[in-house]
Amino acid sequence: MGVLRLSRKKCVGLSKYKDIELVLLTPRYWMLNYRKIYLEQKQADENYRIVTGKTVFPGNSWRGFYYTGLLGTLYRFKPDIIHILQEPWSFFTFQTIFFARILCPRSKIVFLTWENIYRDFSYDSPLTGLYALIDRYTYRNSDYATPTSREAAQILQRKGFSKRIRVIPWGTDPQLFKKIEVDELREKLGLTDSLVIGYVGRLVQEKGILTLIEAASKLHANYKILLVGSGPLKEAIIARAKSLEIDDCLVFVETISQRELPQYYNCMDILVLPSFATPLWKEQLGRVLFEAMACEVPVVGSDSGEIPQVIGEAGLIFPQGKTEELRKRLVSLIEKPGLRRDLGCGGRERVLSKYTWQKYAQEAHSLYQELIETVP
Tens of pLDDT, residue by residue over 140-185, are 999 999 999 999 999 999 999 999 999 999 999 999 999 999 999 9
Coil, strand or helix at 335: helix
User: In terms of domains, do 108 and 158 share one?
Assistant: yes
User: In terms of domains, do 325 and 211 share one?
Assistant: yes
Q: How many residues does the chain have?
A: 376
User: In terms of domains, do 249 and 289 share one?
Assistant: yes
Residue 257: phi, psi to the nearest 5? Answer: -85, 165
For residues 94-125, one letter each, b for 16 or more C-beta atoms within 10 angstroms of the residue's C-beta and e for the rest, the string is bbbbebbeebeeebbbbbbbbbbeeeebeeee
The reply to whether 45 falls in a domain is yes
The reply to whether 158 falls in a domain is yes
User: In terms of domains, do 120 and 196 share one?
Assistant: no
Distance, in Å, from the CA atom of 303 to the CA atom of 306, rounded to the nearest integer, reads 8
The reply to whether 15 falls in a domain is yes
The reply to whether 195 falls in a domain is yes
Full residue range of the structural domain in which residue 97 is found: 3-171+356-372
User: In terms of domains, do 280 and 242 share one?
Assistant: yes
Q: Where are the alpha helices (DSSP H) in the chain?
A: 3-7, 9-15, 70-77, 91-103, 126-141, 150-158, 183-188, 209-217, 234-243, 261-265, 287-294, 307-311, 323-335, 337-354, 357-372
Q: How is residue 266 annotated by DSSP?
A: T
The reply to whether 287 falls in a domain is yes
Give the full edge-to-edge strand order of the sheet including 164-165. 81-84, 108-113, 144-147, 164-165
For residues 363 and 249, the answer to whether their CB atoms sit within 8 Å is: no
Residue 279: phi, psi to the nearest 5? Answer: -60, -25
What pLDDT, on the 0 to 100 scale, is given for residue 376?
A: 63
Where the chain has pLDDT below 70, the residues are 1-7, 32-35, 39-46, 122-126, 375-376
> For residue 262, which of 179, 354, 351, 352 has the smallest C-alpha distance?
179
What pLDDT, on the 0 to 100 scale, is given for residue 4?
A: 46
Q: Total structural domains in the chain?
A: 2
Coil, strand or helix at 223: strand
User: In terms of domains, do 245 and 368 share one?
Assistant: no
What pLDDT, on the 0 to 100 scale, is given for residue 120?
A: 72
User: In terms of domains, do 153 and 208 share one?
Assistant: no
The reply to whether 176 falls in a domain is no
User: In terms of domains, do 12 and 94 share one?
Assistant: yes
Domain of 364: which CATH number?
Answer: 3.40.50.2000
User: In terms of domains, do 160 and 283 share one?
Assistant: no
Burial class (CB in 10 A: 0-12, 13-18, 19+), 357: buried
What pLDDT, on the 0 to 100 scale, is given for residue 3?
A: 36
Element (H, E) at 25: strand 23-27
Coil, strand or helix at 120: coil
- DSSP letters for 167-208: -----B-TTTSS----HHHHHHTT-TTSEEEEEES---GGGT
User: In terms of domains, do 348 and 361 share one?
Assistant: no
Relative orientation angle of helices 91-103 and 126-141, to the nearest 10 degrees: 40
User: In terms of domains, do 201 and 101 share one?
Assistant: no
Distance, in Å, from the CA atom of 179 to the CA atom of 344, rounded to the nearest integer, reads 10
The reply to whether 177 falls in a domain is no
The reply to whether 178 falls in a domain is no
Distance, in Å, from the CA atom of 277 to the CA atom of 284, rounded to the nearest integer, reads 10
What pLDDT, on the 0 to 100 scale, is given for residue 374?
A: 74
User: In terms of domains, do 226 and 315 share one?
Assistant: yes
